[in-house]
Chains A and B, each alone.
Chain A
Amino acid sequence: MLDLTPKEISERTALKINPCKTCQPVGALYAALGVHACMPHSHGSQGCASYHRTFLSRHFKEPAIASTSSFTEGASVFGGGSNIRTGVRNVFEIYNPDIIAVHTTCLSETIGDDMNAYIQDMEIPDGKLVVHTNTPSYVGSHINGYYNMMSGFINYLSKKSGQGNGKAAVFPGFVNPGDMREIRRMAKLMNTPITLFPDTAGVMDAPMTGHYVMYPKGGTTIEEIVGLGDCKKTIALGALTSEAPAITLERKCGVPYEVIPLPIGIESTDLFLMALQKAFSRDIPYELEEERGQLVDVILDAHFYLYGKRVAIFGDPDTVIGLTNLVLEMGMIPSYVLTGTPGDGFAKAVNKLLGAYDVTGSRVKNAGDLFELHQWIMNEPVDLLIGTSYGKQIAKAEDIPFVRAGFPILDRYAHSYFPIVGYKGALRLVEKITEALMDRQDRDAADEDVELVM
């Protein structure tokens, strides 16, 4: 189905084919869903909210709510002020959230709507809140939108009361509810109090009860977001996703921050636990040491099947950096590493990892697309492809084993309930990767070579 893709690579500067990113607002919407009783609001055409909700529903298999300013011709000429005023009034009246999180779109940004002024001037019911962020779709990707929305919440709400709350603020990056739960579980085992922000656990993996509730139990509470200003430090997971809001919080409330990689793989998880350890002077509990030992044990058990295999990895920057680190720890070679999100930090981080393992000759690219990744693979094949559902066509065309990880995964169920972070998450990835490679070996083996014990 990708017959179009020629092997010969030609430079493209204008045309993006088969993107590996999407636009800011969907990231902002996802971040806002990680706040309890929050209605994300899209200030743009009604199609934006519809697409973003659909996109998130396809990944999480959950309802994803958002209201829209429903721009018309008139709004795009005279500005969206009256739309946002009507919108906010209607949302509070009908859907009754505690807070509305407004994000902009390419349209409202281009016509120059001043959201600060609109929000300052509007009537907001007592006890209710409206925050906003700017998410021009023509800058960055959904990752920028995600962290911009976080900064929006912090800018409006976080306060330093002068009385510390003894907690660490943990910014999890653009990850699944399953990852958010795992981060909290690790912090709990470390006996360290944290505020995880945002937190889509309990929202985008809400249980079946036979009742639809617009605002399920999960999500960081407004109180907790206010309290971010009183945290003793911020642990920002993933430099390219979480550092920006950590800087916002530091500037606003003086909370110092530490950036560590998204804890995918052994070393990055070690770093996360050590950051908690350092902040709270706690020992690493036996349970976590045991999990680490089990992970190393399994990688060792399977290492004959893994060593030296060539891997292509694509997706969101911090996720890809984490996955790259994990496959390096497994003795594999990340031959192609690509993100669609622009920004030089990505290549620097990946090249540093490759250097540490003396891996040379890999192609690393930010702001790339999957058409190009496919061309790389056509020119020199890999043994394994790791990435989002958008890789499935490449995997099929080139007949490569494929492991789904990252966002979005549109064609499988239950994935968002399980972590890829932490030792447990790494163990899950090791199982997936090993199984993909060994299934392939079984499939390709001649009858007489099929092994029962592997």
Chain B
Amino acid sequence: MKAAILEERKRSIGSGGVHGRGIDCDMNSVSGSVSQRACVYCGARVVLNPITDAFHIVHGPIGCASYTWDIRGSLTSGSELYRNSFSTDLQERDIVFGGAKKLTAAIAEIMEKHAPKLIFVYATCIVGVIGDDVDAVCRDAERIYGVRCIPVKSPGFSGNKSFGYKMACNAIMELISRHKTQKKVGGVNILGDYNLAGEMWIIENYLKEIGIPVLATITGDASYETLIKAPAASLNIVQCAGSMVYLASRMEEEMGIPYERVSFFGIEDTADSLLRVAALVGGAETVRRARALTERGAREILPATEAYRPYLEGKKAAIYVGGGFKAISLIRQFDAMGIETVVVGTQTGRPEDYEVIGGLVGENCVILDDANPTELETFMKLKGADILVGGVKERPLAYKLGVAFCDHNHERKHALAGYEGVVNFTKEIHRSINNPVWGYITPAIAPVTPVTESERF
């Protein structure tokens, strides 16, 4: 197929090595594009979903609930309630007469049988259009049952996925603001890690080892009881900036808790993050411990990563992930592995992320915001990428192109955070990139014509 790039899209594509030249980002997808991008509801839902003991009620027709049912590999050490799917499953009559009654009844049906402390109600596309007063329903529920019942304003059309993150952050603020007068006890909250494959636990363990208490994890493996302790922390550390910088800024403004952006992906970023946090929260002893941990961590994994180096050195990688910060960590780790990043794109990267990316990669690298499959294909081929790091929609695309793949999103199979994460990541990249199956691909013979009667079966 002829590679074609929409005129409107040209400003969302740039190249590395050129500092200061920004690209357009944080815009809505162009109508008619096969966008990889999701909606406001999706953004809000993925951020709040890992809160394990909450009832997450999706107020709308069934689809929005079914597509988000237990799809993220967020692990729990407590309740497994969040892995169920709750919906008001709005029907035609509800659209005509309003769905607020049904929502009220749904909450009543929960309260009859269970004693939750926390309910989130997600308002989907049509809820706003039909005029349901979700705020009022939630207020009534709080009054009648004494439960926290928090509306999440997430009609899909009201912005993009980033806006959904913001709505989720607002919901979290709504929850924790009532507890902001509690006494500071020190320690940190971890923001923007969703405990995929248990990654939150890796980070938590590092911090515990160097003597820094963790109060609330937002939102990986979070619960009502731990979340409300968040205002007592002295520092927020923010892993996924795209989703959580907004919450961190609000907590800074309204609760006086400063925040620090961190990344626990890759050897370099993990060490750098731990040392910074240690210096900010602890004394000289904490920093000494952090240094010991990072030195030990790097040393311990060296034999494993070195063993794979000869198989990976000189390969080329394409990155297509959600946030800009994640892309940055990936570029650094690929660099450490001797792999050159030749294509990098994000769904929700911010101008400052793209600036950093531009400085990290070589001139040979293409930078894309909100890429679609055609663009990904064009540039991966053009640049000869050997592996793509992406999410569920990109996986089959990569395979079809004969390009190896690593899921760095909800469907990651192993923890990719911290030092053990580096080993897992290296293994995954090797397992895919050097798989013998690539050698058996039969190249396409002719341009695609519809299947003929004799070719069919």
Q: Evaluate contact between B377 and A212: CB separation under 8 angstroms.
A: yes
Cβ-defined partner of B32 (8 Å) among A50, A88, A105? A88
**Is A365 at the interface (CB under 8 A from chain B)?**
no
Q: Whose C-beta in chain A lies nearest to the C-beta of B85?
A: A18
**Is A31 at the interface (CB under 8 A from chain B)?**
no
Q: Say which one of A181-189, A295-303, A316-324 lies at the interface with B.
A: A181-189
**Is A254 at the interface (CB under 8 A from chain B)?**
no
Q: Evaluate contact between B1 and A96: CB separation under 8 angstroms.
A: yes
**Once bound together, how far apart are the Cα atoms of A58 and B456, in whole Å?**
25
Q: What residues of A have a CB within 8 angstroms of the CB of B373 in the complex? A: 63, 65, 212, 214
Chain B CB within 10 Å, residue with most, of A46, A58, A73? A46
Q: Evaluate contact between A216 and B69: CB separation under 8 angstroms.
A: no
Q: Whose C-beta in chain B lies nearest to the C-beta of A209?
A: B444
Q: What residues of A have a CB within 8 angstroms of the CB of B396 in the complex? A: 57, 60-64
**Once bound together, how far apart are the Cα atoms of A257 and B21, in whole Å?**
63
Cβ-defined partner of A46 (8 Å) among B95, B109, B156? B156
CB distance from A135 to the nearest CB of B (A): 10
Q: Whose C-beta in chain A lies nearest to the C-beta of B4?
A: A94
Q: Evaluate contact between B31 and A216: CB separation under 8 angstroms.
A: no
What 1/0 flags go to B384-405 for Cβ under 8 Å of A?
0000000011011101111000
Q: Say which one of A7-15, A354-362, A379-387, A432-440 lies at the interface with B.
A: A7-15
CB distance from B380 to the nearest CB of A (A): 9
Q: What residues of A have a CB within 8 angstroms of the CB of B42 in the complex? A: 47, 50-51
Q: Evaluate contact between B62 and A23: CB separation under 8 angstroms.
A: yes
**Once bound together, how far apart are the Cα atoms of A90 and B33, in whole Å?**
7
What 1/0 flags go to A205-243 for Cβ under 8 Å of B?
011111111111111010000000000000000000000
Q: Whose C-beta in chain A lies nearest to the C-beta of B392?
A: A54
**Once bound together, how far apart are the Cα atoms of A53 and B161, in whole Å?**
16
CB distance from B44 to the nearest CB of A (A): 11
CB distance from A132 to the nearest CB of B (A): 15
**Once bound together, how far apart are the Cα atoms of A171 and B6, in whole Å?**
37
Q: Evaluate contact between A86 and B441: CB separation under 8 angstroms.
A: no
A75-B157, A210-B444 in contact; A16/B89 too (CB < 8 A)?
yes
Q: Whose C-beta in chain A lies nearest to the C-beta of B375?
A: A94
**Once bound together, how far apart are the Cα atoms of A435 and B280, in whole Å?**
59
Q: Evaluate contact between A12 and B109: CB separation under 8 angstroms.
A: yes
**Once bound together, how far apart are the Cα atoms of A141 and B91, in whole Å?**
11
CB distance from B370 to the nearest CB of A (A): 10
**Once bound together, how far apart are the Cα atoms of A105 and B81, in whole Å?**
29
**Is B34 at the interface (CB under 8 A from chain A)?**
yes
Q: What residues of A have a CB within 8 angstroms of the CB of B448 in the complex? A: 213, 215-217
A94-B33, A138-B92 in contact; A73/B158 too (CB < 8 A)?
yes
Q: What residues of B have a CB within 8 angstroms of the CB of A217 in the complex? A: 448-451, 455
Instruction: Classify the interface of chain A: helix, strand, loop or mixed.
Output: loop
Q: What residues of A have a CB within 8 angstroms of the CB of B355 in the complex? A: none
Q: Whose C-beta in chain A lies nearest to the C-beta of B63?
A: A23
**Once bound together, how far apart are the Cα atoms of A214 and B160, in whole Å?**
26
**Once bound together, how far apart are the Cα atoms of A60 and B104, in whole Å?**
38
A6-B113, A70-B35, A208-B400 in contact; A137/B62 too (CB < 8 A)?
yes
Q: Evaluate contact between B113 and A10: CB separation under 8 angstroms.
A: yes
CB distance from A404 to the nearest CB of B (A): 16
What 1/0 flags go to B413-457 for Cβ under 8 Å of A?
000000000000000000000000000011110001111000111
Q: Evaluate contact between B4 and A93: CB separation under 8 angstroms.
A: yes
Which residues between 50 and 84 of chain A lie within 8 Å of chain B, taking CB atoms? 50-55, 57-58, 60-73, 75-76, 83-84
Q: What residues of A have a CB within 8 angstroms of the CB of B129 in the complex? A: 76, 107, 110-111
What 1/0 flags go to B1-42 for Cβ under 8 Å of A?
110111000000000000000000000111111111111111
Cβ-defined partner of B106 (8 Å) among A15, A22, A184? A15
**Once bound together, how far apart are the Cα atoms of A65 and B35, in whole Å?**
9
Chain A, interface size category, equals: 35 or more
**Is B336 at the interface (CB under 8 A from chain A)?**
no
A10-B112, A14-B109 in contact; A44/B35 too (CB < 8 A)?
no
CB distance from A74 to the nearest CB of B (A): 9
A45-B39, A47-B39, A110-B130 in contact; A15/B63 too (CB < 8 A)?
no
Chain A CB within 10 Å, residue with most, of B160, B399, B448? B448
Q: What residues of A have a CB within 8 angstroms of the CB of B94 in the complex? A: 138
Q: Evaluate contact between B126 and A49: CB separation under 8 angstroms.
A: no
Q: Evaluate contact between A51 and B63: CB separation under 8 angstroms.
A: yes
**Is B65 at the interface (CB under 8 A from chain A)?**
yes
Q: Evaluate contact between A2 and B84: CB separation under 8 angstroms.
A: yes
User: Could you count the A-B residue pairs with CB atoms below 8 Å apart for me: how many are there?
Assistant: 290
**Is B86 at the interface (CB under 8 A from chain A)?**
yes
Q: What residues of A have a CB within 8 angstroms of the CB of B399 in the complex? A: 208
CB distance from A159 to the nearest CB of B (A): 19
Q: Evaluate contact between B84 and A209: CB separation under 8 angstroms.
A: no
Cβ-defined partner of B393 (8 Å) among A45, A53, A201? A53
**Is A414 at the interface (CB under 8 A from chain B)?**
no
What 1/0 flags go to A15-34 for Cβ under 8 Å of B?
11111011101100000000
**Is B114 at the interface (CB under 8 A from chain A)?**
yes
Q: Evaluate contact between A93 and B6: CB separation under 8 angstroms.
A: yes
**Is A400 at the interface (CB under 8 A from chain B)?**
no
**Is B90 at the interface (CB under 8 A from chain A)?**
yes
Q: What residues of A have a CB within 8 angstroms of the CB of B449 in the complex? A: 217
Q: Evaluate contact between B157 and A138: CB separation under 8 angstroms.
A: no
**Once bound together, how far apart are the Cα atoms of A216 and B450, in whole Å?**
8
Q: Evaluate contact between B60 and A106: CB separation under 8 angstroms.
A: yes
Which residues between 47 and 96 of chain B lie within 8 Å of chain A, taking CB atoms? 57, 60-70, 80-81, 83-92, 94-95
**Is B222 at the interface (CB under 8 A from chain A)?**
no
Q: Evaluate contact between B88 and A22: CB separation under 8 angstroms.
A: no
Q: Evaluate contact between B35 and A68: CB separation under 8 angstroms.
A: yes
**Is B105 at the interface (CB under 8 A from chain A)?**
yes
CB distance from A339 to the nearest CB of B (A): 13
Q: Evaluate contact between A185 and B457: CB separation under 8 angstroms.
A: yes
Q: Evaluate contact between B92 and A136: CB separation under 8 angstroms.
A: yes
**Is A4 at the interface (CB under 8 A from chain B)?**
yes
**Is B110 at the interface (CB under 8 A from chain A)?**
yes
**Once bound together, how far apart are the Cα atoms of A18 and B65, in whole Å?**
9
**Once bound together, how far apart are the Cα atoms of A317 and B446, in whole Å?**
40
Q: Evaluate contact between B444 and A219: CB separation under 8 angstroms.
A: no
Cβ-defined partner of A63 (8 Å) among B86, B128, B400, B450? B400
Nearest 8 Cβ contacts at the A-B interface: A47-B39, A23-B63, A90-B32, A45-B156, A87-B32, A14-B105, A210-B402, A137-B61
For this complex, 22 residue pairs linking A to B, each with C-beta atoms less than 8 Å apart, are A4-B114, A6-B113, A15-B109, A21-B62, A22-B67, A23-B63, A45-B125, A46-B156, A47-B42, A51-B38, A51-B42, A57-B396, A68-B29, A68-B31, A93-B6, A94-B6, A110-B126, A137-B61, A138-B126, A209-B441, A209-B442, A217-B448
Spell out A's residues near B (CB within 8 Å): 1-4, 6, 10, 12-19, 21-23, 25-26, 36-37, 41, 44-55, 57-58, 60-73, 75-76, 83-84, 86-91, 93-96, 105-107, 110-111, 136-139, 141, 181, 184-185, 188, 201-202, 206-219, 221, 340, 371, 390, 393
8 additional A-B residue pairs with CB within 8 Å, beyond A15-B110, A51-B63, A68-B34: A4-B114, A16-B87, A23-B61, A46-B160, A86-B31, A106-B63, A107-B157, A110-B95
